[in-house]
Amino acid sequence: MPESLIKMALELKNVTKRVGAVEHIKETSLVLDSGHFNVLLGATGSGKTSLIKLMAGLDPMASGSVWMDGQDVTRLSTQKRNISLVHQFFINYPHMTVFDNIASPLKVAGMAKSEIEGRVEEAADILQLRPMLHRRPHELSGGQQQRCALARAIAKESRAVFLDEPLANLDYKLREELRDQLPDLFAGRGAVVVYATSEPEEALLLGGKTALMRDGRVTQFGATADIYRNPANVEAARVFSDPPINTAEIQKEGNTARLTRDVSWLLDGAAADLRDGTYTIAIRPHHVLPFAGAGPAVRIAGRVQVTELSGSESSAHFDLGLPGSNDSWVSLSAGVHPYEVGEMHDFYMDPSAAYVFAPDGSRVA
């Protein structure tokens, strides 16, 4: 039976983690499958690494259980869980050659020499390490060192592979290159792949499923594109946006949503049926443009504070002029737009692209 047909699953049931009196991971349940990337997306300190350590058995949990393929592994040692972990830092045994580094878990497992050689060479070929097999890690570039760590995970053929921000310490070019290769590396290997990152863009590029994390809690879990399109709460919308999503309070009266004294628009659909009152809207920067688009657009005048022009995109941070608020919004548009810092500029927002949240943060439209 081809390996790709074997489905693996990693399941967390009501796990929590405590350090002293502090709850690092609040009660979390999650089912992660093989066959696609499972991304843990959250800011630094949101609990991604803590959760990975619980799944890997590196840290004890306060309560709950971990299951792999229907087997309770909660009490199983890290080694017996048969997993791999690739760290943000390039962790290799310093005084072993690349070959020995890749082979180390296989040797510990007592595998036959010929089989070890076969597996190491296969992994080295996939990661283009063949010419470096007899070098030591410190003789390799950062990208090669991380590929060596990845090769060890691949050669081991473990049930679960944890990638904890593996690209964070690579420079831009190498990061892109390796990120493009990653999904192929693990495709058809039957392992549950968990990938932690703080960058929304990486989650979108790697596809699969995403679990949004904040303050030691999984706030939303599902297909990555779905979560991007339908954030369940204002935090999910914030986490999953780079540059940060624009938020502001609006007053709803009848069919009208009012942002400032001068800016208001007519609501339709679910938003129109809401009770009158104060709501929060969130709108992604690329739905706020410096020109009127084809669809309905609400004009907002703002004072330009900061502009960033890259070759393909222009972004402008502008002051909404809301009393008592220092919030600025960001407009992100294709091409190069001339902005004068400090000048008033008109921006056009597509209200149908805005998410509406109740005061408690839950999504209502």
Partner 1 sequence: MKTENQKAWLFVLPVLALVAFNALIPMMTVVNYSVQETFGDNVFFWQGLDWFQQILRSERFHDALGRQFLFTFLILVIEVPLGIAIALSMPRKGFWVPVCLVLMALPMLIPWNVVGAMWNIFTLPDIGLLGYALNHVLGINYDMTQDPVAAWVTIVTMDVWHWTSLVVLLSYAGLVSIPDAYYQAAKIDGASNWAVFRFIQLPKMKTVLTIAILLRFMDSFNIYTEPFVLTGGGPGNSTTLLSIDLVKIALGQFDLGPAAAMSLIYFAITLLVSWLFYTLMTKDDLN
Residues near 173 by beta carbon (within 8 Å), at least 6 away in sequence: none
Residue placing its CB nearer to partner 1 in the complex, 20 or 311: 20
Distance CA 38, CA 163 (A): 10
The residues that touch partner 1, with contacts defined as CB under 8 A, are: 53, 56, 58, 77-80, 83-85, 87, 89, 91, 93-96, 104-105, 108-109
Shortest Å, Cβ 218 to partner 1: 22
Residue placing its CB nearer to partner 1 in the complex, 25 or 297: 25
Shortest Å, Cβ 269 to partner 1: 49
Shortest Å, Cβ 91 to partner 1: 5
Shortest Å, Cβ 300 to partner 1: 47
* Tokens read off for 40: 């843990």
Shortest Å, Cβ 241 to partner 1: 30
Residue placing its CB nearer to partner 1 in the complex, 96 or 274: 96
What is the DSSP pairing of strand 246-253 with strand 217-223? Answer: unpaired
Residue placing its CB nearer to partner 1 in the complex, 83 or 170: 83
Contact 297, 348 (CB under 8 A): yes
Q: What 3-state DSSP class applies to 74?
A: coil
Residue placing its CB nearer to partner 1 in the complex, 160 or 259: 160
Residue placing its CB nearer to partner 1 in the complex, 38 or 84: 84
Long-range (24+ apart) CB contacts under 8 A made by 321-330 are: 321/260, 322/248, 322/259, 322/260, 325/248, 327/247, 327/248, 328/302, 329/246, 329/248, 329/285, 329/288, 329/300, 329/302, 330/243, 330/244, 330/246, 330/285, 330/288
Shortest Å, Cβ 140 to partner 1: 14
Nearest to 81 by CA among 69, 98, 63: 69
Shortest Å, Cβ 165 to partner 1: 12
Q: What 3-state DSSP class applies to 246?
A: strand
Residue placing its CB nearer to partner 1 in the complex, 110 or 311: 110
Between vectors from CA 196 to CA 91 and to CA 22, what angle results, nearest 5°? Answer: 95
Shortest Å, Cβ 153 to partner 1: 9
Residue placing its CB nearer to partner 1 in the complex, 20 or 342: 20
Q: How many residues does the chain have?
A: 365
Cα 250 to chain centroid distance, Å, stands at 29
Distance CA 65, CA 52 (A): 14
Distance CA 239, CA 246 (A): 12
Residue placing its CB nearer to partner 1 in the complex, 93 or 291: 93
DSSP 141: -
Shortest Å, Cβ 14 to partner 1: 25
197, 198, 200, 205 alpha-carbon torsion, rounded to 10°:
-20
The per-residue DSSP string of 327-359 comes to -EEEEEEES-----TTSEEEEEE-GGG-EEE-T
